[in-house]
Amino acid sequence: MTHPLLDLGVAALADGGGLLLAPGFAPVWAGAAFAGPAATVTCPAGDNLALQVAVAEAPPGSVVVCAVEPGPPCGYVGDVLATAAQVRGVAGILVDGGVRDVAGLATLGFPVVAPLLCARGPSKSGPGEVGGPVEVGGVTVHPGDVVVADVDGVVVLPVDGASEVVERATAKASREPGLLERIRGGGSTLDVLGLDGSVVRRRDG
């Protein structure tokens, strides 16, 4: 079942006041998207044992959010771990590190979002840490915060203000069909959006 926040999308939720991760985080295969409460984990550089534990313990419907300590890149998520996450009922994985086995992930249909790809595999020695706040893409994510990802990026809705963000995003989204209809009818974006173009300087030549 599609999460209702995916119908709103990351862009609308960001406009509504959600916390947008830094540019560069993207689904590793076309069409991958997820939404759900965060289950957080931190991995040492080059090791994914803590991520293995987080996936094994994650509540169904949650998004596993993995921070990675600085170090050489590696593929923290591959098709084996993604299969385990899918069987567990995890909605998706957000990792601030590399991902590999992309073709396998696409075939599996399990959504993973990351800033880069890396075929080098991780060790599995630990220690790492499951739970607690983590920083990913410049945003601090707490367990239970709602994380939404699609082709436009990733947005985080803190638990305390999530309903207000959704309300503002829904209101904005409800206005867009009317705006698009006026533009298709010949209206300029300046008129439709009420923009003051007179402040823009013009140059000759």
Residue 21 has what DSSP assignment? P
For residue 139, how many C-alpha atoms fall within 13 Å in the half-sphere facing its CB?
28
| 170 within 8 A of 26, measured Cβ to Cβ | no
All residues at 6 or more sequence positions from 143 whose CB lies less than 8 Å from its CB, including other chains: 37, 38, 39, 40, 131, 132, 133
Architecture of domain 4-163: 3-Layer(bba) Sandwich (3.50)
pLDDT attached to residue 73? 94
Residue 193, classed as helix, strand or coil, is helix
pLDDT attached to residue 204? 87
pLDDT attached to residue 205? 73
**What single letter denotes the amino acid at residue 200?**
V
Using the structure block, give the residue that is written with the tokens 């994985």.
93
One pLDDT digit (tens) per residue for the chain, 205 residues? 579 999 999 999 999 999 999 999 999 999 999 999 999 999 999 999 999 999 999 999 999 999 999 999 999 999 999 999 999 999 999 999 999 999 999 999 999 999 999 999 999 999 999 999 999 999 999 999 999 999 999 999 999 999 999 999 999 889 989 999 999 999 999 999 999 999 999 998 7
| 64 within 8 A of 42, measured Cβ to Cβ | no
Q: b or e along 46-78 (b: 16 or more beta carbons within 10 Å of the residue's beta carbon)?
A: bbbbbbbebbeebeeebbbbbbbeeeebbbbbb
d(CA 104, CA 160): 37
